[in-house]
Amino acid sequence: MNGAADEPYSVRNESPRAGPAESLLGTVISGRYRIERLLGEGGMGAVYQAEHTHMRKRLAVKVLHAEMSRLPEVVARFEREAMAAAHIDHPNVATATDFGKLEDGSFFLVLEYVEGKSLRDAIALGPLAVGRVMRILRQIAAALQRAHALGIVHRDLKPENVMLIDRDGEPDFVKVLDFGIAKVPVAELSRDEENKSGPAGQALTQLGMVYGTPEYMAPEQALGQNVTPSADIYALGVMTYEMLAGERPFDHESKVTLLGMHVTAPVPPFAQKAPGVVIPRDVEGVVFHMLEKEAAQRYKDAKDLLDALDAIWSASYGAIPSANPGSTAAHRASLVNAREALGSHPDAAPPPPYIASPLNEAVPTGLQRRVLPAALRENPRVLLFAGLGAMVLIGAIFLIAMLSGSHEKPGEANAADAASSEPAAAEPAGSRDPGLDAQVAAAMDLVDKGDAMMAIEKLTALEKEHPERADIHRVLQKAYTATRNHRDAMREAELWLDADITAIDDLKFDEDVRNAAVGRDRDVADHAFALLEKKMKSAGPDILYDIAYGPSSPQLRASADRAKSSLTKPSVRALASASLAVTLELRSATGCDRKRVLLPRAGSVGDARTAALLRTYNGTYGCGFLGVKSCAAYPCLVRDGALGRTIAEIEARGQAQP
């Protein structure tokens, strides 16, 4: 585990601490680095501010204590950090420029000097504005993309290892530090053989060994399993959750219990951890996708994550900042545009539209999200008056129900009163039993705290006695999912649906069914597809479409092909919403004329999925002799501007982003 010895360096307004590390102050090491002051010290070594005597450049020098330099594994780890930092040539990574050994046997590492504050210090002030989080997250992802492309996995991402500095007009310019326990393909980077002797050729970690920080550790990392770039994605997901909510999704004084929570406990919704914070659904979807328990269900690496972030950014806010930030005018302009769209640094409120984020097929949240009517999104006052009107209507219904109830015969039930007094979803199926309600609530609390097995034990007998209770099936479905028992989770999902169809409004339920459908267990996938095709109403075809044509479909080819086949079934199409139905018809229509016939209906009921498909039909000129012919696959669609008008009509209704 990383301890105080590995805290990243940062500039703080404090006097240097006295101790053994001060013996280097004022000396020149390796003939060119003058040690000026101590920045920090831990059990393994110390970090100094230094100046290159010839170039007059400020640097940071990390020095292992002499006694640590006699431990081969510590030296190997230190050399790994040097090699990783030297090879990841990226503006958002603190680079290493030199590595060597002092006369007393101590090893030293020369690093880029980073003057700023850590992300930990920023989070300590409370939740960060969503726009600011997006800017920081995207830069960390860009740094990791470069590392992952080189086969390097950081393995210890945490707020302490991210510095925020002011550079080129960006007050939150990111620098990722400390690749001390990184998984590095040493033989490839050093061009040496894998069986080379000495620190560089040694394998620092073995299967079953656990390295990292428990608060940010991926489940497979906590279990000592093979670590891939997806482990960095999970750690970054925890950090993003913490930036948005002001606290981590999991915390416990016992590190063993904390690791267990990462492995089995469901991620608590933001509404539970930070009730007053408003998170866009697309952003929330990305965070929960990063925090999937199974590595295969997350973004496979930082490039996939960056693609998702760019899709959200471009769909909602316009221009995407440069992937290689620098001092160029274009980059500065992109930052200005981003701050105007996302809210000025540091704590501006997140920009609209956050009542309902845009549907965007390119955003791999796992599901197509439902949105409010365009009139409500475009004019918040409409939403206010709609809410007041709904309150008046509910009051009127309640008054009528009370008056009509006074004329009922004893024992008669008033259906209107029963329907309007309390939402059906709040009432567990079956007769109300306060004692039983309390037991179910206690079991759900166990699941939330990471003890899903105990919840299953408590509810198994109750389920047999009360099979009609939807809330029991709900808790068991979540508990079995948390313990990765996907077969029983799908069984409970179906029982939950049978008892209460509103289960499909639970986004986590929909996500669990989708994940089961694309999983490796054939029986579980069969069960999930049966639910999607027959029992989940319009939500089923929506999820099938996401599997078939969503951004993750190339990586899920077999599942995508199966979902496409499902969507051809008349029984499945009969469940589809009007917007999805016309989108599917456009996909299946053969010939340009048949597609053109569908354009009026697409303009009337289509959504973002429809618009995204239509854009693929839009071609430019430059084909044929002298480049005067249209390159469009379906020329009749672009004739007379029909295709453009249809897309514009969808956008005008607020169902798609331009």
Q: Number of H helices and number of E strands within the chain? A: 29, 11
Highest mean pLDDT: which range of 28-37, 174-183, 272-281, 537-546? 537-546
Query: pLDDT category, 211, cuts 50, 70, 90?
Result: low
At residue 429's C-alpha, the angle toward residues 426 and 432, to 5°, is 80
| pLDDT higher than threshold 80 for residue 22 | no
Greater confidence (556 vs 361) lies with: 556
Task: Provide the pLDDT for residue 20.
Answer: 47
Please choose, from the candidates 268, 267, 246, 250, the residue with its C-alpha nearest in 3D space to the C-alpha of residue 259.
250
| pLDDT higher than threshold 60 for residue 233 | yes
pLDDT, tens only, 475-506: 999 999 888 898 999 999 999 999 999 988 88
156 in catalytic set: yes
Task: Provide the pLDDT for residue 586.
Answer: 94
| pLDDT higher than threshold 80 for residue 405 | no
CATH of domain 117-342: 1.10.510.10
d(CA 363, CA 346): 26
CA distances to 107, 117, 214, 296 from 4, rounded to whole Å, are: 18, 17, 14, 32
pLDDT, tens only, 620-641: 544 544 444 555 667 788 778 8
Q: CB-based contacts of 42: which residues, under 8 Å, 6+ apart?
A: 3, 4, 5, 6, 7
| Average pLDDT for 281-298 | 93
Query: pLDDT category, 361, cuts 50, 70, 90?
Result: very low
Query: pLDDT category, 43, cuts 50, 70, 90?
Result: low
Q: CB-based contacts of 471: which residues, under 8 Å, 6+ apart?
A: 428, 429, 437, 440
Phi, psi of 41 (to 5 degrees): -145, 145
pLDDT, tens only, 417-447: 333 333 344 445 445 678 888 999 999 988 8
62 labeled binding residue: yes
The percent of residues above 70 in pLDDT, for the chain, comes to: 69
DSSP 487-500: HHHHHHHHHHHHH-
Query: pLDDT category, 316, cuts 50, 70, 90?
Result: low
Task: Provide the pLDDT for residue 236.
Answer: 96
CA distances to 178, 190, 210, 217 from 80, rounded to whole Å, are: 10, 11, 17, 20
**Mean pLDDT score across all residues of the chain:** 74
| pLDDT higher than threshold 70 for residue 655 | no
| pLDDT higher than threshold 50 for residue 144 | yes
Please choose, from the candidates 556, 485, 475, 541, the residue with its C-alpha nearest in 3D space to the C-alpha of residue 510.
541
Greater confidence (324 vs 610) lies with: 610
Task: Provide the pLDDT for residue 65.
Answer: 78
pLDDT, tens only, 579-610: 999 999 999 998 888 999 999 999 999 998 99
Task: Provide the pLDDT for residue 653.
Answer: 82
Greater confidence (658 vs 84) lies with: 84
pLDDT, tens only, 512-569: 899 899 988 889 999 999 999 999 999 999 999 999 998 777 778 889 999 999 999 9
| Average pLDDT for 48-76 | 82
Q: CB-based contacts of 556: which residues, under 8 Å, 6+ apart?
A: 518, 547
| Average pLDDT for 292-302 | 92
Please choose, from the candidates 100, 92, 1, 87, the residue with its C-alpha nearest in 3D space to the C-alpha of residue 44.
1
Please choose, from the candidates 318, 361, 371, the residue with its C-alpha nearest in 3D space to the C-alpha of residue 552.
361
Task: Provide the pLDDT for residue 570.
Answer: 93
Highest mean pLDDT: which range of 97-101, 281-285, 651-655? 281-285
The pTM of the full predicted model, rounded to 2 decimals, is 0.47
| pLDDT higher than threshold 60 for residue 111 | yes
Pick the range with the lowest mean pLDDT from 291-300, 506-515, 599-608.
506-515
E strands, 18-81, in order: 28-29, 33-41, 45-52, 57-64
Mapping DSSP onto H, E and C, the string for 232-290 reads: HHHHHHHHHHHHHHCCCCCCCCCHHHHHHHHHHCCCCCHHHHCCCCCCCHHHHHHHHHH
Q: Are 174 and 92 in contact (CB under 8 A)?
A: yes
Query: pLDDT category, 187, cuts 50, 70, 90?
Result: very low
Task: Provide the pLDDT for residue 5.
Answer: 40
Q: Which of 156, 178, 448, 500 does the annotation list as catalytic?
A: 156
CA distances to 366, 447, 511, 541 from 566, rounded to whole Å, are: 18, 34, 18, 9
Task: Provide the pLDDT for residue 209.
Answer: 42
The secondary structure of residue 356, as a DSSP letter, is: S
| pLDDT higher than threshold 80 for residue 611 | yes
| pLDDT higher than threshold 80 for residue 244 | yes
Task: Provide the pLDDT for residue 300.
Answer: 85
Query: pLDDT category, 152, cuts 50, 70, 90?
Result: confident
Give me the helices (H) in 466-569, please: 470-482, 486-499, 507-517, 522-534, 539-549, 557-566
Give the architecture (CATH level 2) of 425-589: Alpha Horseshoe (1.25)
The CATH class, in words, for 4-112 is alpha beta
